[in-house]
Amino acid sequence: MSFENIDFKNDPDFKFKEIVCENSECMSSSYQFDCYKDKNGEIILISPYFNLQDLNINNYHISLINLKNNQVLRTLNGHTDRIITLRYFQDPNTKNNYLISADRKCNVIVWDLSHNCDKIFERNIYFESFIYSTLIIFESNKKYIALTSVSSENITKVIDIEDKNKIIKIKDSKNLYVYHLTYWYNHKRKQHNIIQCGKCKILITEFPNNQTYDTIFTTDKYPYNMGGTVYKNKEREFLATSSSYGLIQIYELELKIIMLKIKLEDVHLYSFIKWNDNYLLILDTSNKKIIVFDITDNAFKVKNEILCQEMYYDRFIQKIDHPKYGESILSIGIDYKIKLFINKNNNN
């Protein structure tokens, strides 16, 4: 189960608890990390690392950390440059766990976390800039990876893991800076969709037929669509996207209409998470706070703003059910430290 899809019972309100990793060997080399549950039900943190003491050492690896005791369980080796992005995905059919990672030289590796962390895909995928966001798409017995970059000369690429020499290019993403990839499965049409949050527009493309489902435009005032999440509310499916300069859009996926535009002043928005059926949480990185949106009955109103002083220009948050502290979030920012914030409303 994805951590995004867990509905927590308590209303969100956070306080800083601890830095999960605080020495030079335990600092993330990108603004990303991820989590998953292993076969024993333990929550495992996935984070890329590099040696800050001597950058000449070819020491780029991924660490798997048990959040029960913050101990490194295993390191995954194979990258030869700084790891820029990684994301965890679970096959909805087999429940196997997979990790996709990409480094600054555009070397891509897919790891089978359920089977001894074996590499099931490894190759260099050419982009003029580095790979900025990734997806894994599970279709019947096949697995595809989607990759994108922030260079205007690039195009989103999709590759069959079993046929790594064949690259499918998403034609409607040509010359678009894409900052974030999101997946949506259209149950009514039984169709996979790749959502590309890019500069001044958001593209929704059906896969594998490579047809454009819809295009959502933003203005020059809010050009950078940095994050997005698909969520369900009373049988209706929505896409929530955030612009770095304060525009939030709520889009009804089946009707293909923008339900709401929310413009916030003096904020810098990055990642979204769905807390439960009542709330969406949005990270305002410039003001060190989390904005809580009430989505009950599709209200889309600001419920609360939670100031977290320790969020030093944090860029990415993820919710977890911590083994000791219960409902919590992890965050990471420009200091590369992964921090734990626990919910004040927890009973423990």
54-83 pLDDT, tens digit each? 555 567 889 999 999 989 999 999 998 888
Tokens for 348? 């423990």
289, containing H or E segment = strand 289-294
Contacts (Cβ under 8 Å, ≥6 apart) of 77: 61
pLDDT, one tens digit per residue, over 70-127 is: 899 999 999 988 888 999 999 999 999 999 999 989 999 999 999 999 999 999 999 9
Tell me what percent of the chain is helix, strand and coil, each rounded to the nearest 5.
Answer: 5, 55, 40
Q: pLDDT per residue over 236-257, tens digit each? A: 999 999 888 889 999 999 999 9
Contact 91, 128 (CB under 8 A): no
Instruction: For residue 71, report the phi and psi dihedrals to the nearest 5 degrees.
Output: -95, 140
Output the CA angle 117-119-123, nearest 5 degrees: 150
Gap between the Cα atoms of 328 and 43, Å rounded: 12
> Any idea where the domains of the chain sit in the sequence?
3-343
The mean pLDDT value for 128-145 works out to 92
Domain 3-343 -> CATH class: mainly beta
CA 252, 258, 263, 267 dihedral sign is positive
CA distances from 24 to 17, 106, 139 (A): 20, 25, 40
* Beta strands across the sheet bearing 247-252: 225-233, 236-243, 247-252, 257-263
